[in-house]
Chain A
């Protein structure tokens, strides 16, 4: 999972395996969550999002799971490919209002390395 500090968590998998990347979020008022993929030297790319009224959402080869009880988000990538190697960020947004309304708060990221 993601943590505070300069050393990003890493996950190494073999091509074809399934990958699970975890994220613990801090704000119980957060109502909207996004996963981004960032390749080296590029801007983050949107992967999938989920709102707090859902606990699971599926896309193409990706699934996001949300557990509001323990404030935990995960991204599952099926049949991981070398092109999936990147840093993966989760982001949260409290749509309910308050001083943080309208801002996304990003985790520090997890480095995924896929070995052929």
Chain B
């Protein structure tokens, strides 16, 4: 069963805590992306990776970090430096940068 999985579906963060969102794909895609979605708004790019061991900042990278140690995995860490982390986080993958991107089901992050 091919696709993109994200976990957990809901995540609660305490103030000052770092949390990590998981994203896995078995589509053999080189490129992977992380977006943030706020209510009533479009998707904003946090980070993207074109290939293993390489990634670039998107438009709103401050307060976030990523790693790309395996082709299948692109975890996102929301650090304590991100002062407004409550949002719906979406991971996507694509065959090549600029091509169609396919999305996972999302993780909703809430602050306690």
Q: Does B74 contact A (CB under 8 A)?
A: no
Q: Is the CB of B98 within 8 A of A109?
A: no
Q: Does B90 contact A (CB under 8 A)?
A: yes
Q: Is the CB of A89 within 8 A of B43?
A: yes
A106 and B92 CA atoms in complex are apart in Å by 13
Interface residues of A in 37-57 (CB under 8 A from B): 41-46, 49
Which B residues are CB-close (under 8 A) to A106?
Answer: 42-43
Q: What are the interface flags for B56-85 relative to A under an 8 Å C-beta threshold, 1 for contact and 0 otherwise?
A: 001100000000000000000000000000
**Candidate in B31, B39, B40, B50 with the most chain A CB atoms within 10 angstroms:** B40
The residue from B6, B41, B100, B108 contacting A34, defined by CB atoms under 8 A apart: B100
The residue from A41, A103, A107 contacting B42, defined by CB atoms under 8 A apart: A107
Number of B positions contacting A (CB below 8 A): 25
Main secondary structure of the interface of A (DSSP, over half): loop
Q: Is the CB of B48 within 8 A of A103?
A: yes
Q: Is the CB of B40 within 8 A of A43?
A: no
The residue from B59, B98, B103 contacting A95, defined by CB atoms under 8 A apart: B98
Which A residues are CB-close (under 8 A) to B42?
Answer: 89, 106-109
A-B contacts, CB under 8 A, total: 56
Question: If the complex has contacts A43-B90, A107-B42, A108-B40, are A93 and B98 also in contact, measured as CB distance less than 8 A?
Answer: yes
A34 and B94 CA atoms in complex are apart in Å by 13
Classify chain A: how many residues form its interface, as a range.
20 to 34
Q: Does B45 contact A (CB under 8 A)?
A: yes
Which A residues are CB-close (under 8 A) to B4?
Answer: 43
Q: Does A6 contact B (CB under 8 A)?
A: yes
Q: Is the CB of A7 within 8 A of B43?
A: no
Q: How far, in Å, is B51 (CB) from chain A's closest CB?
A: 12
Q: Does B97 contact A (CB under 8 A)?
A: yes
Q: Is the CB of B105 within 8 A of A42?
A: yes
- A contacts, CB < 8 Å to B: 6-8, 32, 34, 36, 41-46, 49, 89, 91, 93, 95, 101-104, 106-109
Q: List 10 A-B contacts (CB under 8 A).
A: A6-B39, A8-B40, A36-B103, A42-B105, A42-B106, A43-B4, A102-B48, A103-B45, A103-B58, A108-B40
